[in-house]
């Protein structure tokens, strides 16, 4: 690729050097297999550190084990991971017999919401990935070249039985429900005083199970209950998100912006009436407008053209309904944007999916408007570290294509106590917000994870 700006190069970082070293000598091999009817049923064990998922409507990828790990931290955590992945890809030996999105070398990743969070960011190339798309299925294995001949299509091991969590108890996280409601009231006052237009306020709840948590139990329940969401697991973070930060596929970027929410009652006629109410609510339309405008502003420098729908549609989920807008753009592969790393392989010119995620995070849907002031206020008022909640979660391929969701409707499994998981939910707060209604909305958004924790 040549541009008037000169060919942009990946910024060498320590993470990139380490990743390149670790990748040297790794063989990645993808073969077609007979259709895999249930991806999640292939996951062999309960360990949230070694289990990966990105599945929607039965399609996507799951993985396990760890062939390569890239860890980053700080304000540049997403871009540094992108650069390190580029460096690693350059050293991997890849033999891909299928050639679909999600085949060949694939890394799953997750990144903290805040640049200051010790949770930082991670990309993992699993030892085995199983995928399924449009009736085609594949297995990718990663092994060391010096480990002797391996089987290209390993017998998929019979998984250990999935275990249920048993009785689950819940306790307050950083703030009690009442304290959080009061904090939201304080934020409404700050917004009305003109400090900012919108702040997304989140809260956490800690769940403790009678038995050690099997991440596959949570994934199975989430995927069954929320088939239209992306059911994810990466490095202890598990959830089912309805919100797509960005997908890059063959030169096209796609984002699904959600902002503006109403709870469902379970009564169909009442829910339809509420959907119409949401579509007309000036408070929710304003909140949504802010989210779309900020996304488009952030995406524009990376795209040759952008398509923004004139009005949002109402997305129906089992627990809530959202105002939703699908924004698409043609990724500008010719412009050497200084913050991108277009050294990916064939078909991967322009900013990678992860570079786009870095440019878009945090959106107004999870941070607020204006971003810097709103994220400062939420950090003060929530009194907690969000960890990887509301950060980008997803996967990237060797050519830079990939999918990154926003880690909502999720929980962080404790690394030190296998029975514990911290659940999160947040709500966009604007001048017209009612703190009690926001508390009820946060409860509705906790429902997917509460339901997934229910035994059976
Ligand atoms: C922050 C969350 O959700 C976000 C906030 C929304 C809102 O305030 O209406 C809607 C969807 C998400 O963008 C969450 O689920 O935790």
- Closest CA to ligand 1's atom 1: 426
Q: Where are the alpha helices (H) located in 235-281, listed in sequence order? A: 268-280
Determine which helix (DSSP H) or strand (DSSP E) holds 140, and give its type and residue range: strand 136-144
Q: How far is CA 180 from CA 176, 177, 241, 254, 438, in A?
A: 6, 5, 23, 34, 10
Structural domain harbouring 305: 14-453
Query: Residue 154: what pLDDT?
Result: 58
- Closest CA to ligand 1's atom 10: 259
Determine, yes or no, domain membership for 7: no
Helix, strand or coil, per DSSP, at residue 329: strand
Query: Residue 158: what pLDDT?
Result: 82
Q: How many domains does the chain have?
A: 1
- Closest CA to ligand 1's atom 6: 259
Query: Residue 155: what pLDDT?
Result: 58
Contact 54, 106 (CB under 8 A): no
Side-chain-facing half-sphere of 323: CA atoms under 13 Å: 26
DSSP conformation class of 59: E
Q: Mutation test of ligand 1: which of 445, 446, 448, 450 has the most ligand atoms closer than 8 Å to its C-beta? A: 445
Query: Residue 345: what pLDDT?
Result: 41
**200 Cβ closer than 6 Å to some ligand 1 atom:** yes
**427 Cβ closer than 6 Å to some ligand 1 atom:** yes
From the list 119, 159, 210, 170, the residue with the least C-alpha distance to 36 is 159
pLDDT digits (tens, 9 = 90+) for 246-295: 999 989 999 999 999 999 998 999 999 999 999 999 999 999 998 999 99
Determine, yes or no, domain membership for 172: yes
Determine, yes or no, domain membership for 6: no
CA 213 – ligand 1 centroid, Å: 26
Spans in the chain with pLDDT lower than 50: 1-10, 336-348
What CATH number has the domain bearing residue 31? Answer: 3.60.120.10
Determine, yes or no, domain membership for 1: no
CA 369 – ligand 1 centroid, Å: 14
Contact 96, 104 (CB under 8 A): yes
243 is catalytic: yes
d(CA 80, CA 10): 9
Determine, yes or no, domain membership for 94: yes
CA 288 – ligand 1 centroid, Å: 10
d(CA 54, CA 79): 21
Q: Where are the alpha helices (H) located in 198-281, listed in sequence order? A: 215-225, 268-280
CA 446 – ligand 1 centroid, Å: 11
- Please give the number of the atom of ligand 1 that sits closest to the Cα of 389: 16
Q: Which of 17, 21, 97, 198 is catalytic?
A: 198
Determine, yes or no, domain membership for 36: yes
pLDDT digits (tens, 9 = 90+) for 231-255: 999 999 999 999 999 999 989 999 9
Query: Residue 120: what pLDDT?
Result: 97
Determine, yes or no, domain membership for 87: yes
d(CA 61, CA 232): 10
Torsion of CA 116, 337, 92, 15, to 10 degrees: -30
ipTM above 0.90 for this complex: yes
Helix, strand or coil, per DSSP, at residue 354: helix
Q: Mutation test of ligand 1: which of 274, 288, 316, 322 has the most ligand atoms closer than 8 Å to its C-beta? A: 322
**382 Cβ closer than 6 Å to some ligand 1 atom:** no
Determine, yes or no, domain membership for 9: no
Q: Which of 17, 127, 155, 243 is catalytic?
A: 243
């Amino acid at each position: 690729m040549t541009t008037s700006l000169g060919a942009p190069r990946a910024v060498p970082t320590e993470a990139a050097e380490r990743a390149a070293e670790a990748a040297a000598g790794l063989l990645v091999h993808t073969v077609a297999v007979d259709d895999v009817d249930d991806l999640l049923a292939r996951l062999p064990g309960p360990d949230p550190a070694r289990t990966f998922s990105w599945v929607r409507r039965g399609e996507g990828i799951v993985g396990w084990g760890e062939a390569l790990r890239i860890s980053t931290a700080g304000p540049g955590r997403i871009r540094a991971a992108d650069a390190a992945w580029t460096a690693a890809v350059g050293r991997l030996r890849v033999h891909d017999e299928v050639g679909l999105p999600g085949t060949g070398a694939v890394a799953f990743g997750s990144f903290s919401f805040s640049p200051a969070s010790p949770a930082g960011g991670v990309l993992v190339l699993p030892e085995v990935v199983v995928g399924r798309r449009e009736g085609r299925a594949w297995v990718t294995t990663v092994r060391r070249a010096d480990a002797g001949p391996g089987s290209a299509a390993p017998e998929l091991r019979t998984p250990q039985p999935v275990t249920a969590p048993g009785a689950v108890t819940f306790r307050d996280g950083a703030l009690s429900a009442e304290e959080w409601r009061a904090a939201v009231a304080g934020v409404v006052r700050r917004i009305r005083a003109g400090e900012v237009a919108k702040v997304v306020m989140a809260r956490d709840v800690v769940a403790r199970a009678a038995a050690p948590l099997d991440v596959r139990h949570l994934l199975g329940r989430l995927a069954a209950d929320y088939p239209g969401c992306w059911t994810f697991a990466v490095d202890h973070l598990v959830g089912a998100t309805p919100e797509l930060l960005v997908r890059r596929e063959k030169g096209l970027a796609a984002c699904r912006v959600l902002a503006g929410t109403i709870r469902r009652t379970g009564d169909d006629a009442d829910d339809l009436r509420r959907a119409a109410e949401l579509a007309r609510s000036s408070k929710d339309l304003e909140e949504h407008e802010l989210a779309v405008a900020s996304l488009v502003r952030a995406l524009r420098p990376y795209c040759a053209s952008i398509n923004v729908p004139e009005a949002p549609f109402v997305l129906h989920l089992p627990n809530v309904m959202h105002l939703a807008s699908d924004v698409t753009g043609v990724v500008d592969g010719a412009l050497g944007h200084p913050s991108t790393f277009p050294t990916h392989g064939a078909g991967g010119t322009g900013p990678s999916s992860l570079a786009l995620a870095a440019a878009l995070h945090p959106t107004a849907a999870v941070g607020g408007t204006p971003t810097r002031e709103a994220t400062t206020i939420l950090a003060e008022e929530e009194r907690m570290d969000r960890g990887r909640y509301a950060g980008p979660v997803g996967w990237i391929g060797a050519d830079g294509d990939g999918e990154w969701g926003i880690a909502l409707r999720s929980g962080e499994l404790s690394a030190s106590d296998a029975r514990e998981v911290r659940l999160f939910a947040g709500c966009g707060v604007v001048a017209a917000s009612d703190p009690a209604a926001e508390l009820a909305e946060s409860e509705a958004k906790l429902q997917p994870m509460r339901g997934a924790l229910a035994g059976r």
